[in-house]
Amino acid sequence: MPRLFFVLIVSIGFAPVGSFAGAAQPQPPPRSEQSTAPATTSGDVIQKQEVKSYTLSPEKYEKAVAYSRTQYRLHFLGIAYSVVALMLILAFRVPPLFRDWGERISRRRIVQVFVFVPLLLFVFDAMKFPLSAYHHYLAVHYELSVQGWSSWLWDWTKGEIIKFIAASILAYILYMVIRRSPRRWWLYFGLLSLPIIVFLQFISPVVVDPLFNKFESLEATQPKLVAEIEKLMKHGGLDIQRERMFEMKASEKETAVDAYVTGFGASKRVVVYDTTIEKMTEPQTLFVVGHEMGHYVLGHILKGIAFSVALIIVLLFIIYLSIKRLLSSRQRRWAIRGLDDWASLPALMLLFYVCFFLSEPAFNSFSRYQEHQADVYGLEVTHGILPDSSQTAAEAFQILGEVDLADPDPSTFIKVWLYTHPPLADRIEFARQYDPWSRGQQPMFVR
């Protein structure tokens, strides 16, 4: 799912393809949920004992429950905290102050937006900084991160700079559309989100990702694994050249196991975490790659973009119906001239935070559906290549749960509202039971 756009669009007031390792946890700020697992929990040990269900040792069970529950609370607290922060920014008339500064500096609106938006987002994100830091503290406390505070702060700073630039451009486009079409701006900007998402999907692997992690040629570091991945891709009908296969040095900051297929055209690539190679056997790693292949072969990128654009348009329409009432009752108190005033941006952000929060179950349900399809594809594409694809998949899920401290028993509410992937217990059960071949049935995707 193109979540990068939603991060940016929320940043200005409107809210890699889904990864294998995001399965068991709701997703806090980037990589803060990543975890560490000792070498004794590697795939070699798991493989000696048949995985029948998702199980944890008593000590790890308590840690998984405590960590997961804390993450759930922080998610809902973060939404409330953001709403309150925006209300305080509006109440203290911070936006009109920044708007006036921008207008004094230049009469050109492109200059004004690059003054107004970064200042506004800096204040907003500074107010939320304690929550972001606490997420990282938890990751370190639960031994889920190996990243030092200076490195984390530098990543946070780089993320802010990228957000300031991208959000300023989006805000400029938004207000240009609002001025030209006061009644249909919600539709036109929603449609414009399509090429924006496609552009972000294209440049992210080659422009954004290398700013936060190091990548090496997978052929140079793991030539045998590359050969096996090529066999898998030939079986599944996906063509990605070996020079577009990379190993990400995740272990420098985190120890989560993961892989992903991302980009398209010239930016299309396969990425495998070095931690996955360390903690999983080659067959288990191949299943993870097979799952990620499924997202590509099944067209999940295009379907995810289409779903996201439709959702954006619906939410923008709701905001369009609500913003007039909000501004009419608070316009003087907040010193906002009208909807086409830069100072109205926090009011739009406030409405979108609420709307996007309420739409999370729909967004995440669609994501879980796609992730389940990718699991099916991974089982089918590895069938006949791996000795026992079902057991290998169960082993991979078990390792993932141990490493990420996945919640062993999330409530139905939490699963529906927060989970972008099916719970690990469900994924293991399905992997063990899915066997159309022995029943004389046709596989769903790979035949």
Higher per-residue pLDDT: 438 or 26: 438
Domain membership flag for residue 203: yes
Domain membership flag for residue 261: no
pLDDT at residue 398 tops 90 = yes
Q: What is the band of 21 on the pLDDT scale with cuts at 50, 70, 90?
A: low
Per-residue confidence (pLDDT) for residue 3, from 0 to 100: 45
Residues 249-288 as b/e (b if ≥16 CB within 10 A, e otherwise) read ebbebbbbbbbbbbbeeebbbbbbbbbbbbbbbebbbbbb
pLDDT at residue 151 tops 60 = yes
Report whether 38 contacts 325 (CB < 8 A). no
pLDDT at residue 4 tops 70 = no
pTM exceeds 0.85: yes
Domain membership flag for residue 202: yes
What share of the chain has pLDDT > 90, as a percent? 83
Domain membership flag for residue 285: no
Beta-bridged to residue 216, according to DSSP, are 247
Report whether 277 contacts 285 (CB < 8 A). yes
What share of the chain has pLDDT > 70, as a percent? 89
Per-residue confidence (pLDDT) for residue 279, from 0 to 100: 97
pLDDT tens track for 224-276 = 999 999 999 999 988 899 999 999 999 999 989 999 988 888 899 999 999 99
pLDDT tens track for 328-384 = 999 899 999 999 999 999 999 999 999 999 999 999 999 999 999 999 999 999 999
DSSP state, 37?
Answer: -
Tokens read off for 359: 């739409």
Domain membership flag for residue 311: yes
What is the spatial distance between Cα 35 and Cα 270, in angstroms, rounded to a whole number?
Answer: 22
pLDDT at residue 14 tops 90 = no
Average pLDDT over residues 75-88: 96
Mention every residue, 6+ apart, whose C-beta is less than 8 A from residue 260: 16, 17, 19, 20, 270, 271, 292
pLDDT at residue 28 tops 90 = no
**H-assigned helices in 335-438:** 345-382, 389-404, 412-418, 424-433
- Vertex 415, ends 414 and 416: CA angle to 5°? 95
Per-residue confidence (pLDDT) for residue 40, from 0 to 100: 35
Domain membership flag for residue 114: yes
How many Cα atoms are found within 13 Å in the side-chain-facing hemisphere of 305? 19
What is the spatial distance between Cα 322 and Cα 355, in angstroms, rounded to a whole number?
Answer: 11
Average pLDDT over residues 111-132: 97
Domain membership flag for residue 155: yes
Q: What is the band of 173 on the pLDDT scale with cuts at 50, 70, 90?
A: very high
pLDDT tens track for 85-99 = 999 999 999 999 999
Q: What is the band of 447 on the pLDDT scale with cuts at 50, 70, 90?
A: confident
Q: Which domain holds residue 329?
A: 11-215+290-433
Q: What is the DSSP string of 74-136?
A: HHHHHHHHHHHHHHHHHHTTHHHHHHHHHHHH-S-HHHHHHHHHHHHHHHHHHHHHHHHHHHH
Q: Give the Cβ contact number of residue 33 at 10 Å.
A: 27
Domain membership flag for residue 325: yes
pLDDT at residue 197 tops 50 = yes
Helix or strand run (H / E) with residue 215: strand 215-217
Mention every residue, 6+ apart, whose C-beta is less than 8 A from residue 396: 43, 280, 284, 285, 287, 288
- Residue written as tokens 């803060």? 32
Question: How many structural domains is the chain composed of?
Answer: 1
Higher per-residue pLDDT: 445 or 29: 445
Tokens read off for 374: 């990718």
Report whether 411 contacts 312 (CB < 8 A). no
